[in-house]
Amino acid sequence: MSSQKMRAAITGVEAYIPPYILTNEELSTMVDTTDEWIMTRVGINTRHILKEPNEGMSYMAERAVKQLLEKTNTDPSEIDAIICSTVTGDVVFPATSSIIADKCGIVNAMAFDMNVGCAGFIHAFKTMSLYIESGFCKKAIVVSGEKMSAIVDYTDRNTCPLFGDGAAAILVEGRTDGTGLQDAILRSNGTGRQHLYMKAGGSQYPATQETIARREHFVYQDGKNVFKWAVEKMSDVSAEIMERNNLQPEDIAYLLPHQANMRIIDAVANRMGINKEEKVLVNIERFGNTSSATIPILMWDKQNLFKKGDNLILSSFGAGFAWGSLWIKWAI
Ligand code: UT7
């Protein structure tokens, strides 16, 4: 293949899913809910929870990154950048990317975190692509992980069935064979921030006995509003990225949508005109919504389906509000 523009390509993907499985049956002993409601309204059957005592998100990210280094025969010293997307970092500071780098023996790398809610992975990968394409970085890692169970209120039936824990990491390298990241659309609208957030624990409302008593250290979500926005915005950018690149439904190998609600995924697929059974990848039934980790976990879970050169569309929507779509050509 003739040499083309340098593009950032995914040259490996690994994940760590904690072993504990929280079923709808167990949830229905904790709050007033049923397997039938969760399956029909959301599409989640099980989610995995990190039960390891005194461990945060980096416990999972460390394992995903170490597996990635091993699988791709990469020495930690070769990694020159690590971006971690998360809303559930181990501590407020330092960045969890520094903790992960330290645990994995990565000592020569720029490291920082990105907090873009459920759209974190697509933002982090696009950001990393700019470092790779400019030549500033050669071999880098994007790791997305969430310990949502740390910020979910298991007495609130509106949110506790939705979320799960997990982490996934990709190796990013430059390619000149036409594969890699082709196009990206990233957008935000901060007026939506009141519909999905955690009120306390930051500098506005540091932890006090009152904030704890008011249960303000948990995820708050106005599900109906988020649902409406997610359907509209994820559909818009997924259609737009196809239109502006003259991609027809038959050109797309797979859609990898954020896994928040089966009904949102269906609506996005309909708008793109792609066949749901054949081309839309889904694992929400097993893992639930792992926030910024859903797309790389899905990529890891389904990677055996992909062939080099396949056109993949990644789309996500989440807190902020922030959303977007990426078009990549699979590189391995
Ligand atoms: O990842 C970031 C982006 N997040 C999302 O994309 C999530 C978007 N939102 C959603 O997926 C949906 O809005 C939810 C799954 C969160 C909720 O589904 P919904 O169809 O919008 O339900 P609702 O909130 O309108 O509630 C409908 C009914 C209510 O009862 P009433 O008021 O009609 O009597 C709720 O109280 O369902 C009730 N309900 C439940 N019932 C049983 C809410 N949660 C539950 C539950 N079990 N767990």
Q: What is the pLDDT of residues 234-263, one digit of tens each?
A: 999 999 999 999 999 999 999 999 999 999
**Which of 129, 152, 178 corresponds to the end of one domain?**
178
Residue 300 lies in a domain: yes
Are residues 169 and 240 both part of a single domain? no
Q: The domain spanning residue 290 has which CATH number?
A: 3.40.47.10
Among the listed residues 243, 265, 242, 260, the one whose alpha carbon sits nearest the alpha carbon of residue 252: 242
Residue 212 lies in a domain: yes
Are residues 169 and 244 both part of a single domain? no
Residue 2 lies in a domain: no
Task: Give 158 Cα–ligand 1 centroid separation in angstroms.
Answer: 6
Q: How far are the Cα atoms of 82, 195, 230 from residue 98, in angstroms, in the given order? A: 8, 30, 32
Mind giving me the DSSP string for 16-38? E--SEEEEHHHHHHHSS--HHHH
Q: 165 with 195: CB under 8 angstroms?
A: no
Question: In this structure, which residue's CA is closest to atom 20 in ligand 1?
Answer: 41
Strand partners, 167: 16, 145
Question: In this structure, which residue's CA is closest to atom 48 in ligand 1?
Answer: 157
> Is 217 marked active-site?
no
Are residues 148 and 273 both part of a single domain? no
Q: Which of 118, 123, 137, 261 is catalytic?
A: 118
Residue 1 lies in a domain: no
Atom of ligand 1 nearest to the CA of 161: 48
CA–chain centroid gap for 131, Å, is 20
Are residues 226 and 265 both part of a single domain? yes
For the CA atoms of the chain, what is the radius of gyration? Answer: 19
3-state SS assignment for residue 257: strand
> Is 48 marked active-site?
no
Are residues 41 and 162 both part of a single domain? yes
Are residues 119 and 209 both part of a single domain? no
- Number of folded domains that form the chain: 2
Q: How far are the Cα atoms of 12, 77, 224, 275 from residue 69, in angstroms, in the given order? A: 9, 11, 41, 35
Q: Cα(202)–Cα(204) distance, rounded to whole angstroms?
A: 6
**Which of 178, 210, 229 corresponds to the end of one domain?**
178
Q: Cα(294)–Cα(287) distance, rounded to whole angstroms?
A: 8
Are residues 157 and 36 both part of a single domain? yes
Query: What pLDDT, on a 0 to 100 scale, did the predictor assign at position 224?
Result: 96
Are residues 171 and 52 both part of a single domain? yes
**Which of 178, 208, 227 corresponds to the end of one domain?**
178
- Cβ-count burial of 180 within 10 angstroms (0-12 exposed, 13-18 middle, 19+ buried)? buried
Are residues 14 and 88 both part of a single domain? yes
Residue 197 lies in a domain: yes
Q: Cα(62)–Cα(1) distance, rounded to whole angstroms?
A: 36
Locate tokens 């945060």: which residue? 56
Query: What pLDDT, on a 0 to 100 scale, did the predictor assign at position 198?
Result: 98
Q: Cα(332)–Cα(320) distance, rounded to whole angstroms?
A: 33
Are residues 174 and 60 both part of a single domain? yes
Q: Cα(152)–Cα(235) distance, rounded to whole angstroms?
A: 27
Q: Is 263 in the pocket of ligand 1 (CB under 6 A)?
A: no
Task: Give 218 Cα–ligand 1 centroid separation in angstroms.
Answer: 17
Question: In this structure, which residue's CA is closest to atom 41 in ligand 1?
Answer: 33
φ/ψ of 50, rounded to 5, equals -80, 115
Per the structure, the complete domain to which residue 21 belongs is given by 7-178
Residue 247 lies in a domain: yes
Atom of ligand 1 nearest to the CA of 117: 2
What is the H or E stretch that residue 63 is in? helix 57-71
Query: What pLDDT, on a 0 to 100 scale, did the predictor assign at position 1?
Result: 53
Q: Cα(147)–Cα(158) distance, rounded to whole angstroms?
A: 18
Are residues 154 and 232 both part of a single domain? no
Q: 291 with 120: CB under 8 angstroms?
A: yes
Query: What pLDDT, on a 0 to 100 scale, did the predictor assign at position 323?
Result: 98
Strand partners, 166: 146
Query: What pLDDT, on a 0 to 100 scale, did the predictor assign at position 271?
Result: 87
CA dihedral 152, 158, 161, 163 (to 10 degrees): -50
The low-confidence residues of the chain, meaning pLDDT below 50, are: none
Are residues 17 and 145 both part of a single domain? yes
Mind giving me the DSSP string for 158-183? TTTTTB-EEEEEEEEEEE-SS-EEEE
Q: Cα(15)–Cα(166) distance, rounded to whole angstroms?
A: 8
φ/ψ of 144, rounded to 5, equals -120, 125
Residue 84 lies in a domain: yes
Whether this model's pTM surpasses 0.95: yes
